[in-house]
């Protein structure tokens, strides 16, 4: 199992979540239950993403996907660094799993158009769902890579350069440079979506 | 969020990230609001299964490498006659080296004792036993026995046993050699 890169304790943004992750991994049933409570949003996240993608998956597919997410979260729990809430961290796995399943679905010769209603009532689609899922997918795949993590902290955790500088122990200007280097790295991975443009 | 006006593609990427971030916030808020007892129970079971599956997962790469190395070693030992799988073919099948197995002495032993082997048939089969001093290659015992699967060497060997010996065994049907095997044995010090 991949180990989390060493992050000084004073830079951990969600220390309680990190402690819970460590306790759950160490085998405590009570802490695993608490982890399950924190991650109870996973099936709903999958249902919402599925709805916004035009419901390509049925209820059973979503249950399988939720199991896959739980397995992936459990396997990678040691790599969780506490830089975002556990729920946000799990969101990346949801996008990742759904994205993989979407690719597999498109490789199949017959595409099933109709899917049963999963019971969720969500806001209307923004029309950028695939690009959005791709962003989360890419961010989840690069994991704790600091070159890209700075981008995630800037956009998803809302840190400005001052805060990023404090987080990494560098000047705000150096944080800004690091952020743009991270963006450049992401640009290659997300080129198809960027060129296609947002609606 | 600040934009990079000098690079439109970078600006578009920043916009995509902002949209993704906003979407994630919306979806998370909604999912956390809607999630209930069923979802919690589902995730509890799912995490339990994940933990159990991890405990029962197949051996890692190094374990497979170790198993492959052990298989190669057993194969090599089998070829050398130090170890060979037991048994032989049914009547009528051609018997080969794998069917002749030296049982003792093989490997580290307290005493060389009797020399014993197995072979699917023994009637009318002649076995030739050759024992050498492993250090000097001196022949300590050369004996042919018929219809038997053991030999007591002590009465036949007049010199003191060396620390290590090599035993060669051959099976003959008349003049035809059916099988052979060999093994090393050494005294436990």
DSSP code string of chain A: -PPPPP--GGG-S-HHHHHHHHHHHTT-HHHHHHHHHHTTTHHHHHHHHHHHTT--S-HHHHHHHHHHHHHHHHHHGGG--SSS-HHHHHHHHHHHHHHHHHHHHHHSSS--------S---PPP-S-HHHHHHHHHHHHHHTT-HHHHHHHHHHTS---HHHHHHHHTS-HHHHHHHHHHHHHHHHHHTHHHHHH---
Are the C-beta atoms of A76 and A1 separated by less than 8 Å?
yes
**Burial track A95-108 (b if 16+ CB lie within 10 A, e otherwise):** bbbbbebbeeeeee
Are the C-beta atoms of A70 and B46 separated by less than 8 Å?
yes
Q: Which of A28-42, A153-167, B161-175 has the highest mean pLDDT?
A: A28-42
User: Over chain A, what is the mean pLDDT?
Assistant: 79
Cα A4 from Cα A149, distance rounded (Å): 13
Q: Which residue has the tokens 């046993």?
A: B161
Taking an 8 Å cut-off on Cβ atoms, the answer to whether B20 and A155 are in contact is yes
Asked if B67 has any chain A CB less than 8 Å from its own CB, the reply is no
Interface residue of B47, B52, B54 to substitute, partner A, most A CBs within 10 Å: B47
A116, A106, A98, A101: CA torsion to nearest 10: 100
Q: ipTM of this predicted complex?
A: 0.77
Q: Which of A110-119, B34-43, B83-92, B108-117 has the highest mean pLDDT?
A: B34-43
Nearest CA in chain A to B39: A40
Those residues whose C-beta lies under 8 Å from the C-beta of residue A92, and which sit 6 or more positions away, are A136, A137, A139, A140
Cα A43 from Cα B35, distance rounded (Å): 8
pTM: 0.57
Closest Cα in chain B, distance from residue A17 (Å)? 16
Asked if B52 has any chain A CB less than 8 Å from its own CB, the reply is no
- pLDDT tens-place string over residues B145-172: 888 888 877 666 666 788 889 999 999 8
Cα A123 from Cα A136, distance rounded (Å): 19
The pLDDT of residue B154: 67
pLDDT-based confidence at residue B89 (cuts at 50, 70, 90)? very low
pLDDT average, residue stretch A161-180: 89
Q: Which residue has the tokens 């791709």?
A: A134
Judge whether residue A119 has pLDDT over 60: no
Are the C-beta atoms of A96 and A72 separated by less than 8 Å?
yes
The pLDDT of residue A101: 85
Phi, psi at B59, each rounded to 5°: -55, 150
Taking an 8 Å cut-off on Cβ atoms, the answer to whether B35 and A190 are in contact is no
pLDDT average, residue stretch B115-137: 85
Taking an 8 Å cut-off on Cβ atoms, the answer to whether A44 and B15 are in contact is no
């Amino acid at each position: 199992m991949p180990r989390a890169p060493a992050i000084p304790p004073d830079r951990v943004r969600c220390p309680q979540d990190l402690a819970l992750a460590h306790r759950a991994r160490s085998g405590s049933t009570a802490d695993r239950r608490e982890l399950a409570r924190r991650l109870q949003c996973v099936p709903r996240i999958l249902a919402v993403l599925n709805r916004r993608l035009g419901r390509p998956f049925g209820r059973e597919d979503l249950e399988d996907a939720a199991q896959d997410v739980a397995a992936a979260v459990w396997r990678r729990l040691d790599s969780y660094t506490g830089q975002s809430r556990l729920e946000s961290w799990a969101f990346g796995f949801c996008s990742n799993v759904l994205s993989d399943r979407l690719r597999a679905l498109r490789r199949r010769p017959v595409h099933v158009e109709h899917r049963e209603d999963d019971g969720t009532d969500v806001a209307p689609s923004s029309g950028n769902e695939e690009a959005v899922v791709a962003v989360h997918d890419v961010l989840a795949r690069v994991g704790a890579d600091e070159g890209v993590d700075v981008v995630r902290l800037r956009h998803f955790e809302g840190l400005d350069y001052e805060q990023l500088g404090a987080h990494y122990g560098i000047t705000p200007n150096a944080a800004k440079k690091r952020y743009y280097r991270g963006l450049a790295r992401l640009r290659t991975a997300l080129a198809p979506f960027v060129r296609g443009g947002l609606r | 969020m600040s934009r990079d006006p000098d690079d439109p593609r970078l600006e578009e990427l920043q916009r995509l990230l902002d949209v993704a971030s906003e979407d994630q916030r919306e979806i998370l808020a909604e999912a956390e609001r809607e999630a209930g007892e069923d979802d919690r129970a589902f995730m509890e079971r799912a995490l339990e299964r994940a933990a159990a599956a991890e405990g029962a997962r197949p051996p890692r790469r190094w374990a497979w490498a170790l198993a492959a190395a052990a298989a190669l070693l057993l194969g090599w030992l089998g070829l050398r006659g130090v170890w060979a799988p037991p048994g032989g073919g049914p009547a009528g099948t051609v018997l080969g080296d794998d069917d002749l197995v030296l049982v003792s002495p093989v490997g580290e032993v307290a005493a060389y004792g009797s020399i014993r082997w197995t072979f699917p048939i023994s009637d009318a089969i002649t076995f030739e036993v050759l024992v050498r001093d492993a250090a000097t290659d001196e022949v300590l015992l050369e004996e042919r026995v018929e219809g038997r699967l053991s030999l007591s060497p002590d009465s036949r060997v007049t010199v003191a046993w060396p620390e290590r010996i090599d035993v060669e065994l051959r099976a003959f049907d008349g003049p035809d050699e059916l099988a052979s095997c060999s093994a090393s044995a050494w005294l436990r010090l």
